[in-house]
Amino acid sequence: MNKQIMLSSLGFLIASCGFASMAAAHEAHGHHTRSHVMEAKAAFIDTKGNQIGNVVLTEEKDGVHLKIEAKGLTPGVHGIHFHNVGKCEAPTFESAGSHLNPKNKQHGFDNPQGFHDGDLPNITVGKDGSVTAEIISKNVSLDSEAPNSLLPAAGTAIVIHEKADDYKTDPSGNSGSRIACGVIQH
């Protein structure tokens, strides 16, 4: 009878250690069970309020991956940024606020005072007015509790601008008007 109790206790102890190890490994890899979302999305609308595309955001070990698809844009190079308010009111999209910038930096990858967490590499729209692009941002998170979160209570947006971002001029790289906007949601 004592052997049975000892074996049962030993089995319970081994199982408990296994669960504790799994929980520790889960935390060591930065996974959060309460507020961490692995995927988010946004639907782009144009200045007339028509849906013209979408972006899917997936958090992976090397950053947040963006898969962008849109059509009906002017061919050429365009700036694209995360903005700090989850509103896209056409036609100007000023409702999206300024760039996501929790560290109070200046704009631009080439700016010695920069860059914003919301800054992203330019995208190139083809002659047919469409774009398919993949970008990785190491400066944002889909964890709603992180200071650089794309999913805070007030929300965030992703905005495409009319011109290329020069990567240095504060506050938006001389990228011109906002021509498309999407509210990021999980």
Q: Please state, in angstroms and rounded to a whole number, the distance separating the CA atoms of residues 120 and 21.
A: 38
Give the pLDDT score at 22: 37
pLDDT band of residue 106 (cuts 50, 70, 90) is: low
pTM of the complete model beyond 0.75: yes
Q: Is the pLDDT of residue 90 over 50?
A: yes
As a whole number, mean pLDDT of residues 47-60 equals 96
pLDDT band of residue 37 (cuts 50, 70, 90) is: low
Class in CATH terms, 39-183: mainly beta
Q: Are residues 66 and 55 in contact, defined by beta-carbon separation less than 8 angstroms?
A: yes
As a whole number, mean pLDDT of residues 78-85 equals 93
* Total number of residues shown for the chain: 186
Q: Where are the domains of the chain?
A: 1-31, 39-183
Residue range 57-76, pLDDT digits in tens: 999 989 999 999 999 999 99
Q: What percent of the chain has pLDDT over 90?
A: 53
Amino acid at the residue 60: E
Which phi and psi angles does 5 have, rounded to 5°? -65, -45
As beta bridge partners, residue 178 has 161
Q: Is the pLDDT of residue 101 over 80?
A: no
Q: Is the pLDDT of residue 12 over 70?
A: no
Residue range 117-160, pLDDT digits in tens: 788 999 999 999 999 999 999 999 998 888 888 999 889 999 99
Query: What Cα–Cα distance (Å) separates residue 117 from each residue in 10, 12, 33, 44, 127?
Result: 50, 47, 24, 20, 30
81 vs 38, higher pLDDT: 81
As a whole number, mean pLDDT of residues 87-98 equals 94
Question: Which of 12-16, 59-63, 71-75, 92-96 shows the lowest mean pLDDT across its residues?
Answer: 12-16
DSSP 1-52: -HHHHHHHHHHHHHHHHHHHHHHHHHHHTT--SSSB-SEEEEEEEETTS-EE
Q: What percent of the chain has pLDDT over 70?
A: 75
36 vs 14, higher pLDDT: 36
14 vs 178, higher pLDDT: 178
